[in-house]
Structure 1
Amino acid sequence: MVGQNRHIKPTPNASKHMISKIISLQGRGTSLILETEGNALPIWRYFGAKLSADPDFASWQDTTPRASFSLDKNQPFRTIPLFGNGWFNTPAFTAHRHGRDWAHEISECRVQTSNKEISIVSLDKVAQIEFIQTIRLEPEFDVYAFQTTVKNLGSETLNVDRLMAGSIPVQSHFNRVNSFTGRHNNEFIPVSDGITRSGWQRINRRGLTSHDCPPYARVMSPTTGGFSGPVMAAHLAWSGNHEQLIEWCDYGFYIWQSGAWYAPGEIRLATGEQIKSPEWLVSFSENGENGVAQNLINHMRSLSPLWTSGQMSPRPVHLNTWEGLYFDHNEQDLMELASSAADLGVERFIVDDGWFAGRHDDTSSLGDWWADADKYPDGLAPLANHVKSLGMEFGLWVEPEMVNPKSRLFEKHPQWALQLPQRTPLESRNQLVLDMTNRDVQNYLFEKIESLLTNLPIDYLKWDHNRDLTQAGSDGFAVYTDQINASYALFQTIRDAYPNVEIEACAGGGGRIDAGILRLTHRVWASDCIDAVSRKRIQDGFLEYLPPEIMGTHIGASPAHSTGRSQNMDFRAAMAIIGHFGIELDPRKIPEPEKEKIKSWVNLYKNIRNITHTGQVWRGNVGDHVAWQVLGNKDKFYAFIFRMQPTEQRFPPYVSLPMVDLRTQYFVERVDPQKGQFDGFTGKEFLSLDSQGKKFSGDVLCQVGIRLPFMKAERCIVLKFSAISE
């Protein structure tokens, strides 16, 4: 019963004064089960694979015997574990009033349920705090959204130190947690840790989502693989400081928590004020890592502005000027570059950093958002109109949340930067961060951006954020959380005023990629590194949680500017067309044969994006340094088969695809522009794929696969699979 909420009769041995009732949310393949108990918070009973239609809930009552050296009454794991009344694991909430009201216990609780949501409103009468917790299910995706709100009902300020969005049970057979670390130019580095009684924790205090501690994680059992076995994955929808925690509970399971992390004294609630946690998105699948990735990717599409109408317009081919020109802007050069881009089939031309007043390097001018008169004597209009005349959209780079000390804005309003009294400001990339909680700052930024969007035919903003937050203070108090919410508000104000303008979120590449910012933007730049070998791992990590159509992926120069490594044009292009495809080089400086290759890949991208950007994503490895990625739907999909390093085998491996329908016949053909080119000896079977295509049954594709040709390192083959109607 997808999305069905089940109310079970009170358990037979419940006392007359403590009536107990089971409530549940039932997803497509999951069950979440709580037990209400009088006026107390609900007790967690189960979260995981879907249970039978009518399990024996009565036997689930807490019959845990009292252990020696323990309280006379066991304290069960409730939906908001609280500190000070017998719960010894990490609480989901801690707060105080000048050192008092630090212990918390619920005295009243009301639970409301529907097919897709459980709402729990509870009250600590002694501490005068109201809690509102929601657990919302999107049953078709098996994604649960947890969120907690705390309201101060007392007459004195409530200092909140900790508030988790949710706390969930994780069964003891899960034994490892996969997350990411990384840095600028090297995001989504996978990390796998064992889950033990010593626990697991990741805390980010950088003030934005971060390169090195993004708010994603998944837990797995020893039997979990790419296509089978249990896996639970979570993603915090928040672009600021955050925490993830997994620890052992004496009841025989682990507890997983996630939420925003607060700086000392940051959250101070006056009477009647409240703080709401970000949403924590959690999904479970018995179909392995690919199964849970499908859940999260499809759910993210339901949240993304790209899909608000239910359909997404084709993602246009980009040319971004950054690595082609850097700060060296000249109106004539930009017009020539735009003409060259249009000749390649580019559909959106973005002018990156370097266009605004006095901007010749990264030492000055952030905050002065008008065109540089020396570079653009008549402003940006002539260039923008030229771009539009070529049939392309016009985009512009901005970094509104930042200011250079060497700028007209800072000279006039130094107090607008985040800072602490009597502390020396800490610069990064020669820039400080504007106090977005200041209404004057908000008004100034909207005025400048509004002027650009009103006076120029801008279709697209690339919105950057190129440093961590350090002294994020206003009037001496920490404002990390308010800073993020205020930035969200500016995004929303611009979106409301200019709904047809798309926005890309960038933060030194992948420093601000999360479901919070993606509810307000249309695309993220996955990394400033465009080296195709590095991009393989970066993009794999991205696609574990987020869909390919919002993942910025460009053909870069060779050698790559970030790594110095060189790859051929076909390999760089094949890696880029998996996501939202673009070009980040100066096509005027490459040989004609290279231009023709780019044109061929641009045409392929345009032919396949309606399938690769709307279907499922599957990934796998077959050994011998060969990995594959499939994008599409059950009737039509494209397989990208990569050889990353030289073969170590005498014969090349088979590529089998576990996701195909075993009973379906498929027509398979090679479609990449390298068709007809081989690096060495090739079997007859693959030659037929390359020349006219070949039929395969689903069971053969799944159980045996397709024998690859010999491929040199850093090569890619693209195959198209079409289901044959009976």
Structure 2
Amino acid sequence: MPEADQVTRPAPGIWVLRTPGSAYVVSTGGEDVPVAVHWGAGVDDATAVALAAVPPDPQRASWESPLDGREEYPSDSGLRFAEPALAVRFPDGQRTVRWQPPVDEVVAGDGWSELRLRFHELTRQLRLTLHYRVLDGLDVVERWATLDAGEPLEVRRADSAAWCLPRRDGQRLSSLHGRWGAETQVQRTTLPAGRTGLGSRRTTTGPAHNPWFAVDDGAASETAGEVWSVALAWSGTWHADLEVLPNHRVTARVGAGHEEPLAHLDAGGSFTTPVSVGVFSDGGFGGASRAWHRYAHHVMPSGGETRPVLYNSWEATGFQLDEANQLALAERAAAIGCELFVMDDGWFGKRVDDHAGLGDWTPNPDRFPDGLGPLIKHVTRLGMRFGIWVEPEMVNPDSDLYRAHPDWVYATPGYPRHELRNQLVLDVGRPEVAEWLHGWLDALLSGHDIAFVKWDMNRPVTDPGPGPQWAQRHAEGVYTILDRLRRDHPGVRFESCASGGSRVDLGILARTDQVWPSDNTDAADRLHIQEGFSLAYPARAMTAWVTDAPNFLTGHRLPLRFRFHVAMSGVLGVGGDLNAWTADERAEAAQLIALYKQIRPVVQHGELHRLRSPRTSTAPALAYARGDEVVVFQWLHRHRFGEPAPPARLAFLPPDGTWVDAETGATFPAGYLRVHGVDAGLSRDHDSAVTVLRRRS
């Protein structure tokens, strides 16, 4: 059952939602939909009532609205000038909606409590329900909305939530931006007056912006200060519009879709938005990240598991794979301690390059004359599990599938189509396409001992054709297929990949066990990519490979130890050509993999503390803490002026106790580690170290 007093109603029209470290207060003190009263540190009921009585903007000019920046779900009509969260049109052209006073309901389930505020439109057959949910032990507020139509209407916009942020001086926006090969780059900038837009029109979450952002007063640090952050649990097109209003209030509207209309509803139709999630932390960006990580572990279907060390054969063989070279690589991978062998692209149809074969998901008979069975059995005998790469949403025009069903792809009739990577995108929103897609994947998993599926998507949709909901139907189609596969094959684990990190969000993490943050595996670049990733998502969800040097993308030549230490701060994988590694390199890899297996419970399930950022330091460092064990990672990316890297201070440790270095046996008082830190002796370019500390009982 949920914890007591998670949702209270201290006075008529005032509701308080509580998490372990925050409170969220709304009231009906506005025109019709609720207004935001407080989102921040915990408050008691009496304080909530007093805050609800504070009048809005007494110096407001006649040009301004008392509602703007305060409403939890503003429409696009009435005394409102800010961007709306809801916009509808009825067949007669009416756009105005006004709501009768809400009927409230508090419901509780296993570990959660939910406030539902139900509204009826004054003159039309339309109902709106605003949902607010809090979860036991987690510092999050989940919000979403439901529209139920009693008559036809067009939904031009229906956001998940409008988040009204407290007024602070110098509001600063933190977001994760990027492109292919450079995803989740941290950007911090003062919020300008007016609108700032984030989003994606690329079918998926997209590489340009991640659906997460944070706002602070410009003074928050990694360890201190108030931070408000918001995410959208959605893997399709999306938008987040932040607005600094003339009254200096800041509001952020977050939702699915990127252009209107969003949906057409018939009488009896319903539309439910994705969930948007909010986190408040008074422990700086680090405190906010740890709250997000705990929430992600709750959302992920296997969040309590420890992920295996995988080997992926792509960079070793590319498209030129066959049973013999996969067997040879599997022998090498098992010898260095890998636990999961993943065969990548090129195993099916006529897939000898990227021009053909997508859609024909049966083993290539020239490469696998007896099917996949012999390879899988051999991998299993080596003590590993078997995984496989698929790109289910795609088709090559040169494929049996396309020749049989050319109408299954996104295209605009009568117009030339656009091909990227010599492939087209299947319309997964069509029931017959979704059923076919699920069918062959179900057969593949039913007929083989496959433990892991890497689900890739290497191009966005173009030429989607008519209809307002194609992007939503596509994302929901992918969700439905994954949900069915997980239900029917509970032992199979899934990884989300989309040309790298173009489908990384809480929506896909509710259905997959890990995600691929970027095709860029250069360790120096990954320090930046992985730092941004860690602001919102945990190490347990982040696949990180050790690949060959020089790297295919950057050309950087980095020591094997440095590459391993970067990848070991997430879910460790190996993607290099093991046949080209020297005996010494394979021996070193085996030692580092053995070390990772010792520390991965702390890395994958511990709490992250970012100690020095690669954006501001040539010697970045971070630590994971779990119980009486701490794992410290330090890198010296670039050596300057003969200066060694400074020790990594562990200010997060409790002030008492003694800690022991697991490798050297040296002991340190907690105060020493908090004030002086861990000195790993890094003094040359690309030095790196992992230090394991255990608290002495």
**TM > 0.5 between the two?**
yes
How many angstroms apart in 1 are the aligned matches of 2:567 and 2:67? 56
Which of residues 400, 410, 434 in structure 1 aligns to 2:402? 410
Which of residues 621, 625, 629 in structure 1 aligns to 2:612? 621
Q: How many percent identity over aligned positions? A: 27
Checking the alignment, whether the CA contact within 8 Å between 1:245 and 1:257 is kept in structure 2 is yes
When residues 719 and 74 of structure 1 are mapped into structure 2, their CA distance, relative to the original with a 3 A threshold, is closer
- 1:75 deviation in Å? 7.2
Partner residue, 2:683: 711
Matched, 1:103 2:105: no
When residues 39 and 102 of structure 1 are mapped into structure 2, their CA distance, relative to the original with a 3 A threshold, is closer
How many angstroms apart in 1 are the aligned matches of 2:692 and 2:211? 35
Matched, 1:150 2:144: no
Matches within 5 A, 1:112-511: 112-113=105-106, 116-154=113-151, 156=152, 158-173=153-168, 175-249=171-245, 252-307=248-303, 311-312=304-305, 314-473=306-465, 479-511=470-502
How many angstroms apart in 2 are the aligned matches of 1:71 and 1:696? 60
Partner residue, 1:4: 6
SS at match of 1:41: coil
- 1:110 deviation in Å? 1.0
Checking the alignment, whether the CA contact within 8 Å between 1:262 and 1:481 is kept in structure 2 is no
Aligned residue identity for 1:339? E
SS at match of 1:565: coil
When residues 315 and 73 of structure 1 are mapped into structure 2, their CA distance, relative to the original with a 3 A threshold, is closer
- 1:654 deviation in Å? 2.8
When residues 212 and 287 of structure 1 are mapped into structure 2, their CA distance, relative to the original with a 3 A threshold, is same
Checking the alignment, whether the CA contact within 8 Å between 2:628 and 2:695 is kept in structure 1 is yes
When residues 295 and 427 of structure 1 are mapped into structure 2, their CA distance, relative to the original with a 3 A threshold, is same
Which of residues 36, 42, 46 in structure 1 aligns to 2:28? 36
How many angstroms apart in 1 are the aligned matches of 2:401 and 2:294? 43
Partner residue, 1:14: none
Matched, 1:81 2:74: yes
Checking the alignment, whether the CA contact within 8 Å between 1:395 and 1:462 is kept in structure 2 is yes
Checking the alignment, whether the CA contact within 8 Å between 2:395 and 2:401 is kept in structure 1 is yes
When residues 327 and 204 of structure 1 are mapped into structure 2, their CA distance, relative to the original with a 3 A threshold, is same
Checking the alignment, whether the CA contact within 8 Å between 1:615 and 1:631 is kept in structure 2 is yes
When residues 448 and 302 of structure 1 are mapped into structure 2, their CA distance, relative to the original with a 3 A threshold, is same
Checking the alignment, whether the CA contact within 8 Å between 1:532 and 1:571 is kept in structure 2 is yes
- 1:590 deviation in Å? 1.1
When residues 625 and 110 of structure 1 are mapped into structure 2, their CA distance, relative to the original with a 3 A threshold, is same
SS at match of 1:50: coil
- 1:250 deviation in Å? 5.0
The CA deviation string for residues 557-608 of structure 1, in whole angstroms up to 9 with x for no partner, is: 1111121111111011111111111110221111100000110011011111
- 1:137 deviation in Å? 1.4
How many angstroms apart in 1 are the aligned matches of 2:332 and 2:514? 24
How many angstroms apart in 2 are the aligned matches of 1:72 and 1:356? 61
Matched, 1:631 2:624: yes
Aligned residue identity for 1:713? D
Checking the alignment, whether the CA contact within 8 Å between 1:618 and 1:631 is kept in structure 2 is yes
Bigger CA drift: 137-146 or 488-497? 137-146
Partner residue, 1:13: none
SS at match of 1:199: strand
Partner residue, 1:685: none
How many angstroms apart in 2 are the aligned matches of 1:636 and 1:358? 51
How many angstroms apart in 2 are the aligned matches of 1:416 and 1:465? 17
Checking the alignment, whether the CA contact within 8 Å between 2:72 and 2:164 is kept in structure 1 is no
- 1:252 deviation in Å? 4.5
Bigger CA drift: 539-548 or 50-59? 50-59
Checking the alignment, whether the CA contact within 8 Å between 2:320 and 2:352 is kept in structure 1 is yes
Which of residues 527, 541, 560 in structure 2 aligns to 1:536? 527
Aligned residue identity for 2:595? L
When residues 59 and 565 of structure 1 are mapped into structure 2, their CA distance, relative to the original with a 3 A threshold, is closer
- 1:164 deviation in Å? 1.1
Partner residue, 1:696: 668
How many angstroms apart in 1 are the aligned matches of 2:478 and 2:203? 12
When residues 98 and 653 of structure 1 are mapped into structure 2, their CA distance, relative to the original with a 3 A threshold, is same
How many angstroms apart in 2 are the aligned matches of 1:315 and 1:75? 47
SS at match of 1:659: coil
Matched, 1:610 2:591: no
Which of residues 639, 649, 655 in structure 2 aligns to 1:646? 639
Matched, 1:527 2:518: yes
Bigger CA drift: 33-42 or 183-192? 33-42
When residues 263 and 35 of structure 1 are mapped into structure 2, their CA distance, relative to the original with a 3 A threshold, is closer
Aligned residue identity for 2:6? Q
The CA deviation string for residues 264-303 of structure 1, in whole angstroms up to 9 with x for no partner, is: 4441111111111111111010001110000000111011
Checking the alignment, whether the CA contact within 8 Å between 2:10 and 2:45 is kept in structure 1 is no
- 1:423 deviation in Å? 2.2
When residues 261 and 575 of structure 1 are mapped into structure 2, their CA distance, relative to the original with a 3 A threshold, is same
Partner residue, 1:587: 578
The CA deviation string for residues 83-138 of structure 1, in whole angstroms up to 9 with x for no partner, is: 21111111110110246121111124212236832211111132322111111112
- 1:35 deviation in Å? 1.6
Which of residues 585, 589, 605 in structure 2 aligns to 1:598? 589
When residues 364 and 663 of structure 1 are mapped into structure 2, their CA distance, relative to the original with a 3 A threshold, is same
Aligned residue identity for 2:137? E
Which stretches in structure 2 are left out of the alignment for 5+ residues?
none
- 1:263 deviation in Å? 3.6
When residues 53 and 665 of structure 1 are mapped into structure 2, their CA distance, relative to the original with a 3 A threshold, is farther
How many angstroms apart in 1 are the aligned matches of 2:345 and 2:455? 11
- 1:42 deviation in Å? 2.1
Checking the alignment, whether the CA contact within 8 Å between 1:202 and 1:243 is kept in structure 2 is yes
How many angstroms apart in 2 are the aligned matches of 1:194 and 1:526? 27
TM-score, normalised via structure 2 length: 0.94
When residues 249 and 609 of structure 1 are mapped into structure 2, their CA distance, relative to the original with a 3 A threshold, is same
Checking the alignment, whether the CA contact within 8 Å between 1:5 and 1:26 is kept in structure 2 is yes
- 1:523 deviation in Å? 1.2
Matches within 5 A, 1:651-670: 652-669=645-662
How many angstroms apart in 1 are the aligned matches of 2:201 and 2:325? 42
The CA deviation string for residues 15-56 of structure 1, in whole angstroms up to 9 with x for no partner, is: xxxxx5321012212111112359932221111122356327
Checking the alignment, whether the CA contact within 8 Å between 1:624 and 1:648 is kept in structure 2 is no
Aligned residue identity for 1:47? W
The CA deviation string for residues 376-416 of structure 1, in whole angstroms up to 9 with x for no partner, is: 11111111111111111011111111111111100110000
Tell me the C-alpha RMSD between the 2 structures.
2.1
Bigger CA drift: 131-140 or 521-530? 131-140
Which of residues 520, 541, 549 in structure 1 aligns to 2:540? 549
